Amino acid sequence: MKKRKTLYGLLACVSILFILYALVVNYMIDPGAGAFLSHKTGLKRELNLPVWLNVMHVHVAFACIAMAAGLLNFSNRIFENSHKFHRINGYVYFVSVLLVVITSGYMAPYATGGKISSMGFNALNMIWLLITIMALVQIKKKRIIRHRNWMIRSYAFCFTNMSIHLITFLFHQGFGLIYVTSYTIGVYGSIVLLLLIPNVIIRTIGQSS
């Protein structure tokens, strides 16, 4: 129980800070995404900037909603006080993930790194959606522990953006690779990390059936 409380406290701090960071950067500091777009060179498809920006803002908004909804549903106190809220909030999470995946699918062809990165993002989207559907299926079958474990796996993908940029920073600034190559490594590296880390967490808190 102590391990779970510690992990939840850490998760809450990271999630809240990242949500605030994403909202401030994307809606206040750089709403035109100038810094991010500066790395998109040699695109084979013409970028319709107004449309892309609108889709990106919707993408960020629902990514933040998914992160917040998931965080709330991992709270034992909230679950014990209101099962109805937990259920409704779970559907908010599911719909948010679906909208994040759809908007990401639109933006994938314009990904930094070209077709290889685009394929990586499509793979991320499909994996995240399938894992989230698995979580929904498990709760429909009243398999509480399995539902929780699949939700842990799903929630990890809320940190896709953070994971990609951390890996990109490591390879670009740490190892001196060009940004585009570092970003592509970040995309595929994130797939590996976001699949492995949840299983470590599940084993740490126990009840992995």
pLDDT at 207: 59
What pLDDT, in 10s, does the model give residues 187-205? Answer: 999 999 999 999 999 998 8
Q: Note the pTM of the prediction, 2 decimals.
A: 0.92
How much of the chain exceeds pLDDT 70, in percent? 96
pLDDT interval class at 72 (50, 70, 90): very high
What pLDDT, in 10s, does the model give residues 137-168? Answer: 999 999 999 999 999 999 999 999 999 999 99
pLDDT interval class at 209 (50, 70, 90): very low
pLDDT at 172 > cutoff 50: yes
What pLDDT, in 10s, does the model give residues 86-128? Answer: 999 999 999 999 999 999 999 999 999 889 999 999 999 999 9
> Which structure tokens are listed for 96?
């948010």
Q: What is the mean pLDDT of the chain?
A: 93
Phi then psi dihedrals of residue 69, to 5 deg? -65, -45
pLDDT at 17 > cutoff 90: yes
How much of the chain exceeds pLDDT 90, in percent? 80
Domain residue ranges in the chain: 2-28+47-158+197-205
- Mean pLDDT, to the nearest integer, of 21-42? 88
pLDDT at 6: 85
Give 109's Cβ-side CA count (13 Å radius): 8
